[in-house]
């Protein structure tokens, strides 16, 4: 039987003992699924490890568990380190994108502001949105069998997205006005990390495209049709996983 999967903070694991203190997970385990002491589950620490465990006690504030001695690594992580920057979209569209990009195996998501970004949030809203995105990514990772939850960066400027410290990487950006640049051409000699930028609704401006080129990003066009930003991001992710990852 497939084990139910739940997230756990790595600090809550001590030897073969563990506790879940996330109130959302506690409610899901005890109230929704009605699991009880003796039931077996899987625990994800968000960094690539999965533990099989047995529930030993439940209370409204925490759930205690005993871990199996064997550490399990699920085969659901792509060998490709894929970092995807996306211009901020309306809330529901960006939420959907986070979920689907997680299912497709992205390593990190970088939300950024650029000239044609429509939503403009106050600073205090950054934290609540990022918290929501992290929850969506965590739930999607559990659902699709991943053992790593993508890192969701805080929203940043386009300039900051261009200069993000990620080490050696093949850098590309989607540019509908590029007459000939194909994804395969851009990946002729790929690095182990791919960093791709996708513009917001309306795409990048001419000035931003020039900035991206000067920062070492290569322009790529995804065919003759105009795609919505969230569609373009998912298509690009799928193609990259097919060419370099685990969707072949």
pTM score above 0.85: no
Model confidence pLDDT, tens digit, residues 108-127: 999 999 988 876 666 556 67
Q: With 80 as the cut, is the pLDDT of residue 235 above it?
A: yes
175-231 pLDDT, tens per residue? 988 777 889 889 999 999 999 999 998 899 999 999 999 999 999 999 888 899 999
Average of per-residue pLDDT across 76-98 = 92
- Residue 92's alpha-carbon distances to 57, 96, 109, 141, in angstroms, are 38, 6, 16, 19
Could you tell me the CATH superfamily of domain 81-244? SPOUT methyltransferase, trefoil knot domain (3.40.1280.10)
Under the banding of pLDDT at 50, 70 and 90, the label for residue 73 is low
Residues 6+ apart with CB under 8 A from 165: none
Structure letter (DSSP) for residue 28: I
Q: What is the per-residue pLDDT for 119?
A: 67
The span from the CA of 95 to the CA of 233, in Å, is 13
Q: What is the pLDDT of residue 96?
A: 96
- Has domain 4-72 been given CATH number 2.40.240.20? yes
Which of 125, 64, 133, 54 has the alpha carbon at shortest distance from 92? 133
The whole-number pLDDT of residue 144 equals 86
Longest dimension (CA), the chain: 62
Query: Alpha-carbon Rg of the chain, whole angstroms?
Result: 20
- Among left, alpha and beta (phi > 0; psi -120 to 50; other), residue 99 is alpha
Burial of 194-205, coded b for 16+ CB within 10 Å and e otherwise, reads bbbbbbbbebbe
Instruction: Share the mean pLDDT of the chain.
Output: 89
Cα–Cα distances in angstroms (integers) from residue 186 to residues 83, 240, 243, in the given order: 16, 11, 12
pLDDT the model gives residue 124: 57
**Do 4-72 and 81-244 fold alike per CATH?**
no
- State yes or no: pLDDT of 49 exceeds 80: no
Phi–psi pair at 197, nearest 5 degrees: -110, 135
Q: What is the structure's pLDDT at 18? A: 92
83 or 15, higher pLDDT? 83
pLDDT at 75: 61
What pLDDT sits at residue 215? 97
Q: What is the pLDDT of residue 120?
A: 67
Locate the domains of the chain by residue range.
4-72, 81-244
Round to the nearest angstrom and report the end-to-end CA distance of the chain: 28
């Amino acid at each position: 039987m497939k084990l139910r999967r739940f997230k756990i903070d790595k600090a809550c694991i001590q030897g073969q003992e563990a506790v879940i203190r996330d109130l959302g997970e506690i409610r899901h385990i005890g109230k929704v699924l009605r699991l009880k002491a003796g039931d077996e589950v899987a625990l994800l620490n968000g960094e690539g490890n999965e533990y099989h465990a047995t529930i030993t006690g439940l209370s409204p504030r925490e759930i205690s568990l005993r871990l199996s001695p064997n550490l399990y690594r699920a085969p659901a992580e792509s060998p490709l380190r894929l970092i995807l920057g996306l211009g901020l979209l309306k809330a529901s569209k960006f939420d959907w994108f986070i979920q689907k990009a997680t299912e497709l195996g992205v390593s990190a998501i970088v939300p950024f502001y650029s000239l044609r970004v429509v939503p403009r949030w106050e600073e205090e809203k950054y934290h609540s949105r990022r918290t929501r995105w992290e929850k969506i990514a965590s739930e999607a990772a559990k659902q699709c069998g991943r053992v790593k939850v993508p890192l969701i960066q805080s929203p940043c400027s386009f300039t900051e997205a261009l200069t993000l410290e990620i080490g050696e990487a093949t850098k590309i950006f989607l540019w509908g006005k590029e007459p000939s640049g194909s994804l395969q051409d851009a990946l002729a000699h790929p690095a182990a990390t791919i960093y791709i930028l996708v513009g917001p609704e309306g795409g990048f401006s001419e000035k931003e495209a020039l900035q991206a080129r000067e920062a070492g990003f290569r322009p790529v066009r995804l065919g003759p049709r105009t795609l919505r930003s969230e569609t373009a991001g998912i298509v690009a992710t799928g193609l990259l996983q097919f060419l370099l990852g685990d969707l072949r």
